[in-house]
Chain A
Amino acid sequence: MHEMSICESLIQIIEGEAAAQKFKQVLAICLEIGPLAGVELEALHFSYDVVTRGTLAEKSRLEVIELPLNAWCMPCSKNVDVKQRFDACPDCGSYQVQITGGDELRIKNMEVN
């Protein structure tokens, strides 16, 4: 979805941090993104190059750590491996599966100058 506006929010956060932490250039930025964040990584990389032009993050590297989708099956009382929000438990077939992680969309750190 909206990868372009995500990149624009990124630039806003970077500019705020630049003022607070006194740096002038971003060399690399590292994001953590879960599979349920609704972010298409290819579109994100494309938008990032476009949006960072003329900013202090121009020509910087965009690194993405892809986080796993975590789910808890209630009948089995254990973590199970599902691919999407509405998947059944691969072991018992129940739909009582609670997603416990995977919608993360955050900046982890930046390499700056």
Chain B
Amino acid sequence: MCTVCGCGEGQTVIDGKDPKKHTHSHDHSDGHDHSHEHPHDHDHSHDHIHEGHDHLHYGNGPAHAHAPGLSQSRMVQIETDILAKNNEYAATNRHLFQQKGIFALNLVSSPGSGKTTLLTRIINDMKSEFQINVVEGDQQTENDAQRIRATGARAVQVNTGKGCHLDGHMIGHALESLSPEEGSLLFIENVGNLVCPAGFDLGEAHKVVILSVTEGEDKPIKYPDMFYASDLMLLTKTDLLPYLDFDIEKCMELALRVNPKIKILQLSAKSGEGMESFAQWIKATRSAQLVGHPSLKASA
């Protein structure tokens, strides 16, 4: 079959014409159309590669296209998601988390929202109950991992260099060196960026987006992809609210407009206000995630 127009060949005689010649009608944009014949007696092989059981058939051998300019080359159908590679790595990570009963959160925000301060606070609040590990993503420096290690939690710093986000592969490597304990919590602090990390699954249970009240209340609609991808939004630095014009109601309304399912908590890592709710959310969603897993009993 011709892969350009879909016409068949070698099918007996059509309208009394040589089966090895067939007719093509072309419509032209200038309004006229015409038909012409051309010979069609090239040989071709018909090998198929079957990849797994997903019923993708990749044509092998020349794809008998007779459109102008395609005679020497061939068309290969790919139909592959460009991020499929990342999704495979993420699936591997997720499988590992599931097996070992690890509850992983991917913390995303713009730079300077206070992710690391929040993390050190929640680690100190929860370290008596859980083993906690952290993957720190930053373009450069190991400063954040050091701040985390000061709490006693183990941390691996991933420097992305040129990259604007962590990907599934980087997390896979970080997990190799961390080898997190069964039933532990894993916090992944993504690169400070409200755009790119939205598109990259790392295998986490939930994305948690952090928005500090020193930023604009319209961030949820300025960067909708991130708020859409997250399950929890933390409005942080609420101790500064008396000094700011931040409209908290408006901000929450905009976040819910982008993502009607997002859960919103207000807290201050500095004063500690609201931290208890965040810890409760972690415990509750972790329990829901690990229902039936033996490590849930051990920590309950």
Residue positions of A touching B, CB distance < 8 A: 1-2, 4-6, 9-10, 12-13, 17, 20-23, 27, 31, 36-38, 84-86, 95-96, 105-113
Contact = CB atoms under 8 A, between A and B. Distances in A.
B79 A106 contact: yes
A103 to B, nearest CB: 9
Given A36-B225, A38-B198, A106 B257 contact: no
Nearest to A88: B257
A21 B257 contact: no
Contacts, number: 96
A2 B196 contact: yes
Q: Is the interface of A mostly helix, strand, loop or mixed?
A: mixed
Nearest to B58: A21
22 contacts: A1-B164, A1-B199, A2-B163, A2-B196, A5-B164, A9-B86, A13-B78, A20-B49, A36-B225, A38-B196, A84-B224, A85-B225, A95-B257, A95-B260, A105-B82, A105-B83, A107-B82, A109-B78, A110-B78, A111-B76, A113-B73, A113-B74
Interface of B: 49, 58, 60, 70, 72-86, 162-165, 167, 195-196, 198-199, 220-221, 224-225, 228, 254, 257-258, 260
Q: Is the interface of B mostly helix, strand, loop or mixed?
A: mixed
B85 A17 contact: no
B73 A107 contact: no
B80 A107 contact: yes
B195 A38 contact: yes
Given A86-B258, A112-B76, A22 B60 contact: yes
A2 B221 CA distance: 20
Contacts of B162: 4
A111 B82 contact: no
A37 B258 CA distance: 16
Given A107-B79, A108-B79, 12 more contacts: A1-B196, A2-B163, A5-B164, A9-B83, A12-B85, A85-B224, A86-B257, A105-B81, A105-B82, A110-B78, A111-B76, A112-B73
